[in-house]
Amino acid sequence: MTKILALWNKQTLPIKDGIYFSTGESISLSAQFYPQLLIKKGKPFHLNLFLDKDPDNITNIDIIQKITLTNGNKCFLGEGSYGSEGFIAYLTPKDDLKWVIYFETSNPFINAIELPNHFLRVESSANFKIVIELNNPLNLILVK
């Protein structure tokens, strides 16, 4: 079992902006939500090494919304225990994690709308949206 799956099963996530795949691959993200919206994809990193340096750098998560998509897969939205955090998770019909995106300062994600061609528009309580390609979540943009 990969580290991200073990964390997810304990309803926790690492406190590091990024995309975490169930395969163990992790890619950092750099995001700015105010005053301008900006997101940059960073480099791959090793989650195990990150947590080895600071094992307490995890947050408990609360799932705010569960959405079943037309393909049967699911999207879980929520927040971390510090209030400013948010996450978007994509799961199989059997609730197995495919990937999760975490931001330390996005505020909670509260709603999502399925778009054509396997895209999803997710809304933050901070009044911005992220459009994500579900099959390639590295293809994402921030919008007002």
Q: How many Å apart are CA 79 and CA 87, to the nearest integer?
A: 6
- Provide the residue type at 139 as one letter: N
State how many domains the chain has.
1
Domain of residue 127 covers 3-143
126 by Cβ neighbours in 10 Å (0-12 / 13-18 / 19+) ranks as middle
Q: What is the pLDDT along the chain (144 residues), one digit of tens a residue?
A: 999 999 999 999 999 999 999 999 999 998 888 788 889 999 999 999 999 999 999 999 999 999 999 999 999 999 999 889 999 999 999 999 999 999 999 999 999 999 999 999 999 999 899 999 999 999 999 888
CATH of the domain at 51: 2.40.128
Strands 119-124 and 86-91: unpaired
